[in-house]
């Protein structure tokens, strides 16, 4: 067995935290993009408006459940990362994950109201527009989070601390 540096517990926690954040946000971003760019347009092209709306209302609970679960993973991962890492901007990922999770919960509340409305009503159309806007905002926040996480944790230069210093909090 080759001798190497052992990974400390807090380093392993950071690795796990970043993995949870990336997998959670990646699943949710992928679901948003796939649903918004492939599934919803295909349904509206193939079905009359009233049938398409009823079908989507049945799909939305599973869609937002994916968001809640994957967002929950990301929230846990970002909290662990913020708690154990030393990066200067570590709490921003937690704030980003929290915001997206709150938006998911809010859209789910909108969906529960939409289920009771006629698909042709003006209130339904308004709530649909709000949910589409929130979905778009979530996708932008998720993309920005990935960009930010990549930039802060793997910069071409280390602007947090002197070269060779660990990113782990010292006890």
Domains of the chain, residue spans:
23-152
The percent of residues above 70 in pLDDT, for the chain, comes to 82
Q: Is the pLDDT score of 160 beyond 60?
A: no
Q: Is the pLDDT score of 46 beyond 90?
A: yes
Handedness of CA 137, 41, 74, 109 (dihedral sign): positive
Which residue did the predictor score with more confidence, 26 or 50? 26
pTM of the predicted model as reported, rounded to 2 decimal places? 0.75
The percent of residues above 90 in pLDDT, for the chain, comes to 25
Give the end-to-end CA distance of the chain in Å, rounded to a whole number: 30
Whole-number pLDDT of residue 157: 47
Residue 168's DSSP bridge partners are 85
Q: How many CB atoms lie within 10 A of CB 49?
A: 10
Chain-wide mean pLDDT for the chain? Answer: 81
Q: Is the pLDDT score of 162 beyond 70?
A: no
Helix, strand, coil percent values for the chain (each to nearest 5): 75, 0, 20
Long-range contacts of 1-9 (CB under 8 A, 24+ apart): 8/168
Mean pLDDT of 14-19: 88
Mean pLDDT of 43-67: 87
């Amino acid at each position: 067995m080759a001798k190497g540096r052992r990974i400390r517990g807090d380093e392993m926690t950071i690795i796990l935290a970043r993995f949870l954040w990336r997998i959670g946000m990646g699943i949710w971003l992928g679901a948003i993009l796939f649903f918004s760019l492939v599934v919803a347009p295909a349904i509206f092209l193939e079905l009359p408006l009233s049938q398409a709306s009823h079908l989507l209302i049945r799909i939305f609970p599973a869609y937002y459940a994916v968001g809640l679960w994957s967002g929950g993973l990301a929230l846990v991962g970002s909290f662990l990362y913020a708690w154990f890492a030393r990066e200067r901007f570590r709490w921003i990922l937690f704030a980003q994950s929290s915001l997206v999770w709150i938006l998911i919960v809010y859209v789910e509340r909108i969906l529960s109201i939409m289920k009771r409305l006629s698909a042709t009503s003006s209130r339904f159309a308004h709530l649909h527009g709000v949910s589409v806007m929130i979905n778009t905002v979530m996708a932008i926040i998720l993309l920005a989070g990935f960009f930010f996480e990549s930039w802060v944790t793997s910069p071409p230069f280390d602007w947090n601390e002197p070269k060779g210093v660990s990113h782990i909090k010292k006890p």
